[in-house]
Amino acid sequence: MITDGPDSPMCGKATVRTHPTEEAIGLIWVFIGDREPHPLSDQLPEELVDPPAFAVGGRIQDRGGDWRLYAENGFDEDHAKYLHRTSYWRIFKMRPTWNKVHIERHGRWIYRIEDERHWEADFPGLGHWSNDRWWKIKPKQQRGKLLGNTGGSKKSDPYIEGQGFAGFASLSLPGVLRIAYPQFIHYEFYVPIEAGRTKYVGVMVQFKSGLQRAGFYLKYLGGIRWLFHGNFSSQDHWMVENTDAPPERLYRPDISLIEWRRLVEEGNPFDPAVPVEVNAADETEER
């Protein structure tokens, strides 16, 4: 009708349904629902509501696989050690051999928190296991709380460090993953399309301005987009799309999956039908 002009006889005779939208971190957010939408700022990760200057890169893709499995995969530590061992993004970074973790609840987020990190280990009857290779960068932090899972950094971004995240990996409903690295935060938003199909929104945000901001876009478009949001992320896509469970057999590190499933069973905290106590932002509980 636009191309037919404002006096088109079609005007007023054809309509499409519209949805409320808001803009944040360079993305348009659409509320698909029959009720009054809650403010987007209630649902965004807190550090993105009123952020300092930032740069953003991302990938949006419709993928086969259930949104809950994408969330499980994103929050899980151990799949990365095996699945991503061949990714170009991690080819020069050492990964720990094994970790002990526990999950903590802070408000609407569950955090995966490292209790132990072992870069190498001797397995009785199997031998020595290490991800150390001559071409891999050695971890800068052997022990202690760190951002990211490949050895931390001597200098972290002050805005990211200042958030005081309980752990570098956190997950909240309705399907928001946050992985804090020393120089950027990686988010994944899992939007269900239908059973077995998910709109995957992967976003990398770096809090820089001026020349550093321009430098981010240069690096992002020159390589990171292909390495991280391409090759690396496509491994998760492949695995989730091919996951056929149950039946399943869980092991100790799968505590992160179990706690995520518990969270899902509470229901969407932004849905007014869910009891108010679930929305309590000051709830802190250790499991």
Burial of 265 (0-12, 13-18, 19+ CB in 10 A): exposed
**Minimal distance, residue 264 CB to Fe ion, in Å:** 19
CA distance 245 to 56: 34
How many angstroms separate the most distant Cα atoms in the chain?
82
Residue number with the smallest Cβ distance to Fe ion: 236
**Minimal distance, residue 9 CB to Fe ion, in Å:** 54
- Which CB atom, from 95 or from 117, has the smaller least distance to Fe ion? 95
**Minimal distance, residue 85 CB to Fe ion, in Å:** 11
Do residues 104 and 287 make contact, with C-beta atoms less than 8 angstroms apart?
yes
- Which CB atom, from 131 or from 279, has the smaller least distance to Fe ion? 131
- Which CB atom, from 239 or from 278, has the smaller least distance to Fe ion? 239
**Alpha carbon distances (Å) from 234 to 199, 224, 270:** 14, 13, 30
CA distance 69 to 198: 10
**Minimal distance, residue 54 CB to Fe ion, in Å:** 24
**Minimal distance, residue 219 CB to Fe ion, in Å:** 21
**Minimal distance, residue 237 CB to Fe ion, in Å:** 9
- Which CB atom, from 45 or from 74, has the smaller least distance to Fe ion? 74
**Minimal distance, residue 235 CB to Fe ion, in Å:** 6
CA geometry: angle 223, 59, 50, nearest 5 deg: 100
- Which CB atom, from 75 or from 111, has the smaller least distance to Fe ion? 75
Size of the residue set binding Fe ion (CB under 5 A): 1
DSSP 186-233: EEEEEEEEETTEEEEEEEEEE---HHHHHHHHHHIIIIIHHIIIIIIH
- Which CB atom, from 99 or from 268, has the smaller least distance to Fe ion? 99
> Among residue numbers 209 through 268, which ones bind Fe ion (CB under 5 A)?
236
CA distance 193 to 172: 19
Positive or negative: CA dihedral 71, 75, 81, 84? positive
- Which CB atom, from 236 or from 259, has the smaller least distance to Fe ion? 236
- Phi/psi region, residue 41 (left: phi>0; alpha: psi -120 to 50; beta: rest), is alpha
Which residues sit at the interface with Fe ion, rule CB under 5 A?
236
